[in-house]
Structure 1
Amino acid sequence: MNNSTSRRWFLGGVSGAIALLGGSLANRLEVSAQPQKNSQNSQTIKPPLLKPGDTVGMVAPASNAYELEEIRIAKETMEQYGFKVELGKHINAQYGYLAGKDKERAEDLNEMFRRPDIRGIVTFSGGYGCSRLLPLLDYDSIRKNPKVLIGHSDITALLIAIYQKTGLISFHGSSGLTGVGEYAIASFRKAIMSSSKIGKTAAPPTSERNVVERDNRLVTIVPGRATGQLIGGNLTLVTNLMGSP
């Protein structure tokens, strides 16, 4: 398996293993947002399920796209679920290695939460820059307009901050650019388009049939069973946020 193939399978595995940030391991999304009491927030808010025909917003709160074709691919990836896709105003912007200035990227995200016609929000990709947006987010509007928010890597900063400030459960998983392949698609639908429990995460697909996978094996670090809230994401971002307000 060459480096390109290995990276592609790795992204498929990461995007397939969608996790609820702040959600109970046994809980599922509700058809409508239902606040519930928990020990960390006065309320935990479950966003409404997404369904085919819904309009989802796509924003780039971190790094910019190298080519416009990447944005088209990300848009088509979300359309394969039956969604209509509304692109953020600054998703094509470039400001150094970022998709626009901090204020522009934050405003795109805030706007998607405010708009009643937008049912969910998907990020274009990860990269760098989300931590710079945290003071610019409209947390009150986010709390009043709960929606599915999903992204990976650097988007972890947004997911954790929004949960801490509002109680909204969000998802670390497929971005628009990486949510391809049967494994990722099935996991995406199970997590945010179905009221069934997510259940056990399936092993990632092997690179070749009837060949023992060497690069993308599931590894158990500490065996056992646990019940509680699942908060995580990209571990670099998790550690970098320690000590922040």
Structure 2
Amino acid sequence: MTSIDAWKQPPYIKPGDTIVGISPSGAIKDLAAVEKAREIVRSQGYNLELDKHWNAHYGYLGGTDEQRREALLEALINPNYKGIIAGRGGYGVARLLEEKDWETILRKYPKWMIGFSDITSLLWKLARVKIHSIHGPVLTTLAKEPKWSLKRLFNYLEGHPLPPLQGQGWGNGQAQGWLLPANLTVATHLLGTPLQPPLDGVILALEDVGEPPYRIDRMLTQWRLMGAFDGVKGIALGRFSRSNGSSDSWTVEEVLGDRLGDLGIPIVSELPFGHDGVNAILPVGMKVMLDGDEGILTRV
């Protein structure tokens, strides 16, 4: 694997800069949440502009592929925009990445991309070309973040140190690697495609929502059968919300323990990221140390 030093970091932002909101995935339904997000961004000293297609609807998508592709391209090449934040998750980013020479475009215009859930597709595409991005809140969830989580986001965007995160350690010591966050469902569908970055040497960070335990089992079993965990150095687990099974089901915690517990690598669970709760940012490509004994994820 290429040295982690080969990663390219977008320029840090500063108060007065403009962040643009786009809808590369699903259509936005909560307009009030977007206005609250605008207020939060402004309160931090930044401007928030919304792309002209930000509120488009095309079935379950936030506009046609052409509209959403145009919005992503404009967000990247417009010099007035210093950062990009997705409006929401849902589904649709992978459709945009089928066409165009995105690798050349992303390398030429490195900017902070912020989002999670379906935005995993774009974060992983950026990781393939070794450009840092941010797994974190989208516009429709930004107002739900506590003050410390918002501070973590904006401080990092300005270049300040990132505090560690505390979870529940499963043992197996410590490991270092570059951080690769993802929504488990989206990431599973990216395995073996041109959007999947190399997994050797990574600290994988996984979360999901609305997937019952047997589906979590099925996805993790696919990773095992593909040998996708073979080069992974450690796994950081966030929230797996709304993952209830039937009365005779294992819990999602039991499934995670069964499918991951024998990998022999450091694992930390109950970290504060994912859907339906605090979504502390995780910088993609940041070199981190995962302590499976103490339950800590920290920057190296």
TM-score w.r.t. the length of structure 2 is 0.59
Q: Bigger relative contact order, structure 1 or 2, given CA contacts below 8 A and separation 6+?
A: 1
- State the shift of 1:100 in Å: 0.2
Q: Deviations over 1:174-211 (max 9, x none)?
A: 21222232132122123222332x1311x5xxxxxxxx
Q: Secondary structure at the match of 2:21?
A: strand
Matches within 5 A, 1:174-213: 174-179=137-142, 180-196=145-161, 198-201=162-165
1:66–1:231 CA distance, 2 compared to 1 (3 A) = same
Counterpart selection for 1:139 from 100, 103, 126 = 103
Alignment partner, residue 149 of structure 1: 113
Alignment partner, residue 5 of structure 1: none
- State the shift of 1:220 in Å: 2.8
Distance in 2 (alpha carbons) for counterparts of 1:132 and 1:105: 10
1:242–1:43 CA distance, 2 compared to 1 (3 A) = same
1:46–1:69 CA distance, 2 compared to 1 (3 A) = same
Alignment partner, residue 39 of structure 1: 2
Matches within 5 A, 1:96-135: 96-135=59-98
- State the shift of 1:91 in Å: 0.5
Alignment partner, residue 225 of structure 1: 174
Does 2:203 match 1:239?
no
User: Which amino acid in 1 is paired with 2:152?
Assistant: S
Distance in 1 (alpha carbons) for counterparts of 2:170 and 2:158: 30
The aligned length equals: 191
Matches within 5 A, 1:45-56: 45-56=8-19
Q: Deviations over 1:36-82 (max 9, x none)?
A: xx617894111111111111111011111114333322322322221
- State the shift of 1:136 in Å: 3.4
Q: Secondary structure at the match of 2:41?
A: helix
1:224–1:192 CA distance, 2 compared to 1 (3 A) = farther
TM-score w.r.t. the length of structure 1 is 0.71
User: Which amino acid in 2 is paired with 1:227?
Assistant: Q
2:53, 2:68 within 8 Å by CA — same for their partners in 1? yes
- State the shift of 1:223 in Å: 4.9
2:16, 2:46 within 8 Å by CA — same for their partners in 1? yes
Q: Secondary structure at the match of 1:135?
A: coil
Higher strand share: 2
Alignment partner, residue 215 of structure 1: none
Q: Which structure has the larger Rg?
A: 2
1:195–1:92 CA distance, 2 compared to 1 (3 A) = same
- State the shift of 1:157 in Å: 0.7
Alignment partner, residue 126 of structure 2: 162
Please, which runs of 5 or more residues in structure 2 have no aligned partner?
Answer: 195-300
Q: Deviations over 1:115-138 (max 9, x none)?
A: 111111111111111111112353
Distance in 1 (alpha carbons) for counterparts of 2:50 and 2:156: 23
The worse-fitting range, judged by mean Cα deviation, of 175-184 and 68-77 is 68-77
Distance in 1 (alpha carbons) for counterparts of 2:175 and 2:4: 20
Distance in 1 (alpha carbons) for counterparts of 2:48 and 2:105: 21
